[in-house]
Amino acid sequence: MLDIVLLGSGGGMPMPNRFLSSMIISYKGRKILIDCGEGTQVSMRNFKTGFKSIDIICITHFHGDHIFGLPGLLSTIGNSNRTEPIIIIGPKGTEYVLRGLMSSIPYLPYSIDIIENPRNSLGINILAESMEIRQDSKGYSNDDIIISTLELDHSSPCIGYSFYVTRKPKFYPEKARQNQVPKEIWGRLQKGESVIYNEKKYIPNMVLGEERKGIKLSYITDTRSIGTIPNFISESNLFICEGTYGDDEDLEKAIKNKHMIFSEAAELASKGKVEELLLTHFSASIDEPELYKSNALRVFENTTIGYDGFTKMLMFPKE
């Protein structure tokens, strides 16, 4: 299962009831942070998410409401005696921007590895104490999570993310016996390895069943609605999308500022055939986003209005 907590649902400037853009994903005891707007650390304390086990930080773009909380958080993680590297993924220019942000915290007890503007999916292995990430992966049979990115249409370089949690095929002891697979290598085959044992080659499908559907989470902010998004978010279990403006009458403003209104996000959810839409990144001009929920509901019924502290557990589909 995959757990998410929406740490900040605001856009532009922090409000008394909303911190700025940030969300944390937890899986197998490790964490991925998406964006780190002002107030992220406070929100983490409020909702007791922890921060020391954050291995990967995904940055959508470099506007302040998405990154100004980053130097403080990295410093706090350093003070927690973390020594394992942290990976930061972001659009073109990430290394240059981070160099400036981190000028005030030049000494950290861990290293930061930057992956800038990835063109290929990234495979992640969850290890006992950390995550290991692979670029340009040829196959993902041994990876726990696959991260993919999409270039968006905003006023600065911006990327969206999808996270696919893989599910290994079911192990069948009876199939292993039928194929005369020695018990000594069952475990290795179950992990997806091919094994040569007693001069004979054994492959995983000699003990495993069919591929099983995993969990897909997509995160899109900040951007205009563009034609590449529906395919990118296709069949997501949860689609988290910006809804900077709630009123349809704000469309002209949304176009000018390269953002979306609720109904546009709902249209993407419908075209992408997702299970649920979670709206976030609300303009400071919207005191109560719930008042505009009907604008999304008329297009996509399973819509939720996000808020700081919104939590959700995503489970593998029942067989």
pLDDT of residue 190: 87
Classify residue 129 by its DSSP letter: S
**Do 51 and 197 belong to one domain?**
no
- 317, containing H or E segment: none
pLDDT of residue 20: 97
Q: Which residues pair with 82 in a beta bridge?
A: none
Question: Has 66 been labeled as part of a binding site?
Answer: yes
Burial class (CB in 10 A: 0-12, 13-18, 19+), 183: exposed
**Do 205 and 274 belong to one domain?**
no
Looking at 158, 191, 210, which one is the last position of a domain?
A: 210
Closest CA to 252 of 265, 243, 261: 261
247 is catalytic: no
For the chain, give percent helix, strand, coil, nearest 5.
25, 30, 45
Rg (CA), the chain: 21
Supply 103's token pair: 């000028």
**Do 97 and 187 belong to one domain?**
no
> Does residue 314 fall inside a structural domain?
no
- pTM (predicted TM-score): 0.91
Q: Are 175 and 204 in contact (CB under 8 A)?
A: no
CA distance 134 to 154: 28
pLDDT of residue 274: 98
Question: Has 222 been labeled as part of a binding site?
Answer: yes
**Do 290 and 176 belong to one domain?**
no
**Do 81 and 185 belong to one domain?**
no
Q: Are 278 and 292 in contact (CB under 8 A)?
A: no
pLDDT of residue 126: 85
Question: Has 281 been labeled as part of a binding site?
Answer: yes
Instruction: Output the CA torsion sign for 57, 60, 61, 65.
Output: negative
CA distance 6 to 23: 4
Marked catalytic residue, from 55, 65, 143, 308: 65
pLDDT of residue 211: 84
**Do 158 and 107 belong to one domain?**
yes
pLDDT of residue 297: 98
**Do 92 and 192 belong to one domain?**
no
DSSP characters over 180-247 = T--GGGHHHHHTT--EEETTEEE-GGGTB-S-EEEEEEEEE-S----TTHHHHTTT-SEEEEE--B-S
Count: domains in the chain: 2
**Do 48 and 191 belong to one domain?**
no
> Does residue 249 fall inside a structural domain?
yes
> Which residue is associated with the tokens 């002891």?
173
- Taking the chain (319 residues) in consecutive chunks of 10 residues, what is each chunk's mean pLDDT? 96 92 95 96 96 95 96 94 94 94 90 92 84 68 86 97 92 94 92 89 92 94 97 98 97 97 98 98 95 98 98 90
> Does residue 16 fall inside a structural domain?
yes
pLDDT of residue 132: 83
**Do 187 and 284 belong to one domain?**
no
Contacts of residue 318, defined as CB under 8 A and 6 or more positions apart, other chains included, come to none
CATH number at residue 101: 3.60.15.10
Tell me which residue range forms the domain holding 257: 2-169+211-308
CA distance 28 to 173: 26
**Do 106 and 162 belong to one domain?**
yes
> Does residue 246 fall inside a structural domain?
yes
